[in-house]
Amino acid sequence: MKAKRVLLIDGDIVAFKISIVAEKPIHWGDDVWTMHVDVAEARGLTEAYIHDLMADLKADEYRIALSDMTNFRKLLNPDYKSNRKGKRKPMCYPELKLWMRVQHGAAILPTLEADDVIGIWATEETTEDRIIVSIDKDFQTIPSRRYNPDKPELGIESSTKEEADYFHFIQTLAGDSTDGYSGVPRIGVKTADKILKGKCDWDKVLECYGEYGMTEEDALMNARMARILRFGEYRVRKGVDLWTPEKSLG
């Protein structure tokens, strides 16, 4: 019997992109411009987007994840995504996320980002064929099947646990400037790969950090910023079970 195919949709990105598309500038003359949004149009675009995803991927069901207002990474590291402060979000972004919750049952877990909710869903034991739908490269740190709607030509990609763990170490060294954690100076993804040589070598990670006068605490903080949660690493009442190299490699 064919496994039920379930799409795990990153609702933050969907809401953001569609909210931007729905914004329409209006010129009233005499150099006066305003921005207009028809929220009904944005809802319709979202419905069409989900419908097309379901058809293109021949899916049976879908689940949408959204980020909580409180973010455990920001509590650990105030610099996390601090580069986004003060930047205007699209006008109907909050309204579209609220509608996703009411109309589509979008899930939010306390202190987690949408990425973490999806990571937990994707790694729990199941007979379903679960596919992450997101443009976010960070999902390579999750053992999963993935689909990038911005690159449909790639089809459904996948990562084993070993591959996902390795990419997590790559991210720990390289950092991610868009998310506000820097990793080791002058080390990008390609250089990190050359350094690690396909192995999750925590001692090598510490050696690289040490060469730039950085500490094991710095390395651990970056690793925790880069870690998308997996099943068993979060409980609603207890919170996040923070990553350590011993838990990953022991």
36 bridge partner residues? 24
pLDDT for 83: 74
pLDDT for 7: 98
pLDDT for 177: 81
The number of beta carbons lying within 10 Å of the beta carbon of residue 114 is 27
Could you give phi then psi for residue 65, rounded to 5 degrees? -115, 140
pTM of the model: 0.94
What is the mean pLDDT for each group of 10 consecutive residues in the chain (250 residues)? 94 97 94 94 97 98 97 91 81 96 97 98 97 96 97 96 97 88 92 96 96 95 96 94 78
Q: How far, in Å, CA of 195 to CA of 153, rounded?
A: 31
Q: How far, in Å, CA of 110 to CA of 67, rounded?
A: 9
Q: Which domains occur in the chain, in start order?
A: 5-27+34-243 (3.40.50.1010)
Contact 234, 120 (CB under 8 A): yes
Chain centroid to CA 3: how far? 25
